[in-house]
């Protein structure tokens, strides 16, 4: 028995360094409430787990982007998808709100500072912008093509808005009123996923939608042009804590194939598979990666 015990200890000592070198750890990806951030989170997960020894956990349905970013600051969240205009305006003013490239660079510079110490990657290739949206029958009745066409009649309209947008300072409702010079007669805060059914059913007259949501087309809704360029660029990009990248630099290589690889139509189609066709988010993510030859 003593001999067996000594051999066992020697075997453990021999293989312990190998186990340490295998270094499997766990990172957490945060995703907001809307579908595409959850699809992208599963894509990150699939690629990272395939290309590295890391395990990935996903925390979905986080209420707002600022909450996700605060979770990253505290170390509870390691990675997320952020949108340039939203991320910056949550903490400071956007310096060049009509320039997508400059806004992305501002996001990279701002979030790399000591207060955050995040790496804001290059964009995924698409932007998901806010868009004022009405039913086609209302657009025809009032001759609506652009947001300014609501001047003089907005007070008769009931509106459904993303709760987070109503509370935002730099690109939220108060700033919108200052820019366009009118208010809606009734504003209803609601979860972003509910605005589409609300306007379709006539419960509200106008909503603030996400441009990549497939229900805009499926529900025959019309986007009004933001003719005063109120909304800044909202280009999507992965964001990772630098502390995590320092420890696991292979994460950057794992997600590199996704950088610049999407457009709004592609993301809209992926969203539609979940929101309209009822497919599971993780299945949609996996099938897409397999179709692109990125997942074995």
Interval 136-153: pLDDT, tens:
999 999 999 999 999 999
Interval 237-255: pLDDT, tens:
999 999 999 999 999 999 9
The pLDDT of residue 263 is above 60: yes
CA dist., res. 131 & res. 147, Å (int): 9
Unique residue bearing structure tokens 């109503």? 166
Options 3.40.50.2020, 3.40.190.120, 3.40.630.10, 2.30.110.10; which CATH number does 130-223 get?
Answer: 3.40.190.120
180: pLDDT confidence band, cut at 50, 70 and 90?
very high
CA dist., res. 22 & res. 54, Å (int): 10
The pLDDT of residue 289 is above 90: yes
CA dist., res. 296 & res. 281, Å (int): 18
In the chain, what are the domain boundaries? 26-127+233-291, 130-223
Angle between helices 264-275 and 35-51 (to 10 degrees): 100
CATH topology match: 26-127+233-291 vs 130-223: yes
- Per CATH, the number for 26-127+233-291 is 3.40.190.10
The pLDDT of residue 94 is above 60: yes
CA 112 to chain centre: 19
Strands 79-83 and 236-241: antiparallel
Interval 26-83: pLDDT, tens:
999 999 999 999 999 999 999 999 999 999 999 999 989 999 999 999 999 999 999 9
Q: What is the overall mean pLDDT for the chain?
A: 91
Angle between helices 35-51 and 281-291 (to 10 degrees): 60
Buried b / exposed e along 221-232 (16+ C-beta atoms within 10 A): bbbbebeeebbb
The pLDDT of residue 13 is above 70: no
pLDDT-above-90 percentage for the chain:
86
The pLDDT of residue 131 is above 70: yes
Of 21-30, 79-88, 251-260, where does mean pLDDT reach its minimum? Answer: 21-30
The answer to whether 160 touches 195, Cβ cutoff 8 Å, is: yes
160: pLDDT confidence band, cut at 50, 70 and 90?
very high
CA dist., res. 214 & res. 268, Å (int): 5
pLDDT of 109: 98
The predicted model scores a pTM of 0.86
């Amino acid at each position: 028995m003593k001999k067996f015990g000594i051999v066992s200890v020697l075997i453990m000592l021999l293989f312990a360094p190998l186990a340490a070198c295998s270094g499997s750890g766990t990172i957490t990806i945060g995703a907001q409430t809307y579908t595409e951030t959850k699809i992208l989170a599963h894509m990150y997960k699939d690629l990272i787990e395939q290309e590295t020894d890391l395990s990935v956990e996903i925390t979905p349905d986080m209420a707002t982007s600022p909450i996700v970013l605060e979770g990253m600051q505290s170390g509870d969240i390691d990675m997320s998808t952020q949108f340039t205009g939203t991320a910056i305006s949550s903490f400071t003013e956007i310096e060049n709100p009509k320039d997508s490239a400059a806004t992305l660079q501002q996001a990279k510079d701002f979030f790399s500072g000591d207060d955050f110490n995040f790496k804001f990657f290059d964009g995924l290739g698409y932007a998901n912008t806010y868009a004022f949206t009405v039913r086609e029958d209302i657009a025809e009745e009032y001759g609506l093509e652009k947001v300014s066409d609501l001047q003089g009649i907005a007070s008769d309209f009931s509106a459904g808005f993303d709760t987070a947008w109503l509370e935002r300072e730099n690109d939220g409702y108060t700033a919108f009123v200052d820019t366009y010079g009118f208010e809606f007669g009734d504003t209803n805060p609601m979860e972003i996923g509910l605005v589409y059914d609300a306007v379709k059913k006539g419960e509200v007259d106008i909503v603030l939608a996400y441009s990549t949501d497939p229900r805009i087309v499926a529900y025959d809704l019309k986007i009004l042009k933001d003719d005063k360029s109120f909304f800044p660029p909202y280009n999507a990009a992965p964001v990772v804590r630098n502390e995590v990248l320092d420890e696991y630099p292979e994460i950057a290589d794992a997600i590199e194939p996704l950088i610049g690889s999407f457009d709004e139509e592609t993301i809209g189609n992926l969203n539609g598979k979940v929101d309209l066709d009822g497919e599971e988010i993780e299945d949609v993510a996996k099938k897409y990666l397999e179709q692109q030859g990125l997942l074995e």
